[in-house]
Amino acid sequence: MSNTRPNIVYILADDMGYGDVGCYNPQSKIPTPYMDRLAREGMRFTDAHSPSAVCTPTRYGILTGRYCWRTELKAHVLFNYELPLIEPERMTVASLLKNCGYHTGCFGKWHLGLGWGVKDGEVFDFDQPLPWPGGSPDPVEEDKIDFSKPIAGGPIELGFDRFYGTSGCSTAQPPYCFIDQDQTVGIPSVQKPVEMAGGRRGLMVPDWDHKEADPAFTEKAVAYIEERAGDADTPFFLYLAASAPHEPCTVACVPEFLRGASEAGPRGDMVALVDWMVGQVMDALDRCGLADDTLVIVTSDNGALPGCNGHTYGHKSCGDWRGFKGFIWEGGHREPFIARWPGVVAPNSVCDALVGLQDFMATVADIVGETLPEDAGEDSASFFPALMGETEPVRDDLIHHSCMGVFSIRRGDWKLIVDCDNSGDMGRGVDGCVGTGPVPGSRGQLYHMGDDPFESYNQFGREPGIVREFREMVERYIADGRSV
């Protein structure tokens, strides 16, 4: 197969921080040999950012090349039974590649909404404003879902030929069951027991076990690679989305063979689980003779939480960056991002270019020689030249977005946080940082990331010209409907 049409594998961790991976943090208390090997054999990006500091919006951005705040979901994430967020007519990375002759497979956590069927004679209010209030479904309402009916609006209607996964985080969001194509595997019929580790209440299949989900996703992904190896003329796109190391970070959520694998408690063991998943995929590519013709990318959907229920075990999950998951500060959205493509990406290379995870869409189009239409990838810039070692900037600026909908924009060394003087998180007080949503007219934050990379010295009052210019830039990008 020509390197101009490589197989593409995208592995997405859930809440894995910049400091969790050894090649980014030599003091990490978590062994990550496979991700470290991938960095030695490929390129490690140092200034890569998720388009949001939480799950759903980042996944929307990765698959569409568009900021999620342009949709109805302006803050937070989707919960449980909310409707599909990706519009059926919108181009996705999967539909783009499928139209270019690729076979496409999606395995793992979806978390972009699904169209659930309802029992005959029942009425379920799916049209509530997003996000729905509360994190757990009302048992009476949940009982109206007919799990025997086909599920609409999911991966197989958005460009994926194959899907095996869960609707949301397998350890935290009902329904607790696997989905094969557009049908649940079994019928969720019992409420999750109170004593079952973590997660929100809700229906599950009787034999559900949190710790078995990520290994099952991986098994299906490896089988998919082995199957596709039999069709050398058809390249494939594999999207593997782990649930680890999303909370609850408890021993019960860690497969037995990885318990105690790290020195950072159960959460550290769950990062080791992600590394194991990467290793299983790498081994399958090697075994099938596909490694040389495959672009592999490993990253995370947002920053990490500091530890297990407040216990860090002396491990810095986000490295030295300020903040954590949900925050508008760097720890909320600066991600590990590793790419390997033998013969194209120089081994053991480092890229300091500013990139966003939503740039995957334009990059894929660039790789396969396609031009995106005007109504696709509106916020996506190609980092294909960076993969080939070119040093020109990938993009001039980048918008960040917090859990509570706070905007920030980075251009050059300056970063402006708009209408918010705090973390922009949910107000849960992680690490003593209580946050809010944007408060129009309030004092913002301005940091010089070159001199002050850890956002310690707010220069908002000292640089009114930069504040005005950057605020106008954010307003223009919102109004224009695109940023590239």
Tell me the DSSP string of 238-281.
EEEE--TTPSP--GGGS-GGGTT-SSSHHHHHHHHHHHHHHHHH
Query: Phi and psi dihedrals of 137, rounded to 5?
Result: -75, 150
So what's the pLDDT on residue 128? Answer: 79
CA atoms within 13 A on the CB side of 161: 16
Domain with CATH 3.40.720.10 in the chain: 7-395
So what's the pLDDT on residue 3? Answer: 53
- The CATH fold assigned to 7-395 is Alkaline Phosphatase, subunit A (3.40.720)
Q: What percent of the chain has pLDDT over 70?
A: 97
Q: What is the mean pLDDT of residues 22-31?
A: 98
In this predicted structure, the answer to whether residue 331 has a pLDDT above a threshold of 50 is yes
Instruction: Please state which architecture CATH assigns to domain 400-480.
Output: 2-Layer Sandwich (3.30)
- Model pLDDT for residues 247-288, shown as the tens digit of each residue: 999 999 999 999 999 999 999 999 999 999 999 999 999 999
Q: How many CB atoms are located within 10 Å of the residue 320 CB? A: 12
So what's the pLDDT on residue 1? Answer: 40
Q: What is the mean pLDDT of residues 220-232?
A: 98
- Model pLDDT for residues 384-430, shown as the tens digit of each residue: 999 999 999 999 999 999 999 999 999 999 999 999 999 999 876 66
Residue 393's identity, in one-letter code, is: P
- Model pLDDT for residues 129-170, shown as the tens digit of each residue: 877 776 677 888 899 999 999 999 999 999 999 999 999 998
- Cα(404)–Cα(401) distance, rounded to whole angstroms? 8
In this predicted structure, the answer to whether residue 2 has a pLDDT above a threshold of 50 is no
So what's the pLDDT on residue 199? Answer: 75
CA atoms within 13 A on the CB side of 299: 33
Domain with CATH 3.30.1120.10 in the chain: 400-480
3-state secondary structure (DSSP) of residue 350: strand
User: What tokens does 277 get?
Assistant: 């998943």
User: What tokens does 107 get?
Assistant: 């395995």
In 3D space, the residue among 86, 147, 141 whose CA is nearest the CA of residue 117 turns out to be: 147
- Cα(232)–Cα(255) distance, rounded to whole angstroms? 34
In this predicted structure, the answer to whether residue 197 has a pLDDT above a threshold of 70 is no
So what's the pLDDT on residue 246? Answer: 94
So what's the pLDDT on residue 44? Answer: 99
So what's the pLDDT on residue 428? Answer: 64
Give the helix/strand (H/E) hosting 57: helix 55-64
Q: What is the mean pLDDT of the chain?
A: 95
pTM: 0.97
So what's the pLDDT on residue 330? Answer: 98
So what's the pLDDT on residue 426? Answer: 81
